[in-house]
Structure 1
Amino acid sequence: MMEGNNGAMNLQMAIQEYIARRYRHSADPDLLEPNAIAKRLSQGVRPAQIWLASDPADDEDALDGAADFIVDMDSDDGADAAEFAAAAGLKAEYVLVDRVDEEDPRLVWVIPLINNECIQDRTALVIDQTPLGVAMAAWPHFRIRIPVHVLDVPLKSLPISMSQMIIANRENPDMGVVRGQDPQDARNKRIVDRHVRDMLETFLVWSLACRQLPPLHVAGSSGLKRTPSRGELLRQVAQALGVNPVEAGQLIEGTAKPTEAQRAALQAAGVSLESAAGRELTLPADLLVEVEQPAWRQAILYYAETHGIQILPARMALAQDAFELAARPSGHGREAWRGALAQVVAGLE
């Protein structure tokens, strides 16, 4: 969709490349076909899906090093992308989606998965056949809530009946879901314990990150405060200067200074940047939910690169740009905000 050298983008592409090599023998040809991935991303997060979840850091050197680490690995040596990513310092795990949280759709309940059937004990369930073409171990008693934005690559779905059985922590040999076995010796037990401990540490970090999300404003029909003149000002600046909404927003916020020629053009158009001072902006709940979705992940990484900011502020800035671009203060569901976000993203390219 967009080009750039952002470390997080490089790392994400490296992980996808590695998965493609690792599962090139998968019976499912659409597993990592780019158009198929894009389609699954556009469909959103749903029960029974398997995802690779990852949490890119903001340290560019660490991210680029992790990307190189993954790309250089041999995909035939039995390890998997999540394991490589973890070794390179990136938090990455496979998950099975239980459900999106009813109260806050920015959160999702998941079951941790390990793509190595040797890592199992009696608390795990082993899934004989998955869309990846290999067996996976599921840990249903570690069901946990995490931010939806850490979901990275959608890897298709299990049958709903099988997913429900796994979530309920029940085995069914006829479905190819059996109870895991405890390690046979102390060495293997230490290996399993280490993998499970590392996995749980990652999910705990993600779970705690749920508390860092901005509050949703849901009172009344919209529960929102909005300053329509702010969006109007953004359009006036963009039109007067012939710049895209992102550049107009930077001028309004003061993160970029207008040139003398731009000042003259604004004055001729009767537009004052000073009129933006002190305006309060509260983002709609539907917009806050939509911008967290995995479909916008690449755009947010690119936004962070082009604006020289970190990933979390970039997500909120993208949402704010979409809000300012919207023409009206009401009648916006997630579908409409999706269109506004797409307009802002188009301005980045």
Structure 2
Amino acid sequence: MELRKVALAVGSMIVVTASSGCGVVGSIFGSSDDSSGGGNGGSDPGGGFSGDLGGVGGLGDLEACATSSARGTLQPVNLIVMFDRSGSMGKYQDNNGVEYDNTAQRWVPVSQGMAAFFSDPQSAGLNATLQFFPPDRGNKCDASAYRNPAVQRTPLPSNEFGDAISSTGPSGDTPTRGALLGAFAIAQNTLASNPDERAVVVLVTDGQPTACGQLQGVYDTARSGLNGKPSISTYVVGVGPDTGNLDEIARNGGTGKATYVAENSDPGKTSSDLVAQLNKIRGEVMSCSFAIPSPGEGKQLDTNAVNVVLTPTGGKASTLSYSSECQGGAGWHYDDPSAPRSIELCESTCDSVKQDKGAKIAIAFGCATNGKVN
């Protein structure tokens, strides 16, 4: 009987290994005499299943189920960044004809902060796509106007983003709903080509929407991304003193509240504060989430037959409980129980794993789940 488990080792870099094992519920990955690893949705670079469980860290009470091992990778994450280049980021006139110039306090430091984030070596492991709003051409309220990003999907770190930002400037209004529609379309295209990856939208803006309909339409659009299949969350970073109702966009996008960068007389601080907020988002999306290995052609994954086992440094393995709402921040859950693409550790569990550089996580397939899934 051949089932699988995945292990996550955490250090200065997050590394994931995958292993095969069996459980009490029955096989979902094929026959145990298939030493080549066929039917598991991937190949073992070491030349097939070895049966060596030493790198996994143990399965505690589930240890008797384990029979073989293979390698896997942490689920890659794509940032779909929508950067507000509306006129209020630079020189503009208000409805009364009064002129303002926010270039030095807003556009320049925000641009520098964005470029610094994209080129930061600590962003390694992420992919990013960059688009501006309003777009240069097309219907700014339609997703099609954003289909050709300023920077296509690129592994970070990269200086390409800074080059793209330096080649544009602030102009126009703030078509936030159109920007979100465009971001979700980019994300969906990205995941269609890379189905084992994740995507999140990051909206960086200096104010509430001024085009493409009422605010409720923006909220509904953010919620449509979150409720889509696959689900795409929206993070919001607000810049400046008048950021409107950005919290509602973030809430409907599944990320709670927007984060803010207060405009001040020190452009350097504005830039560093922006980088800090983007780093916070990076830490969240690079947390403990990884793709579920394919059960193989013709096989079905039993979502009620998956367990997550944590082994702290020098400690004993313990089976975590499934918690769809992450009550108390502990345990784990699926990104979507009805059509799961990834397994995600809850916040406090993930934090403890990241702080323990020698901690290991094993995911055992086949044993009845500890905790109710459905």
TM range, smaller chain = under 0.3
Q: Which of the two has greater helix per residue?
A: 1
Higher RCO structure (Cα 8 Å, ≥6 apart): 2
- Please give the TM-score of this superposition, normalised by the length of structure 2: 0.23
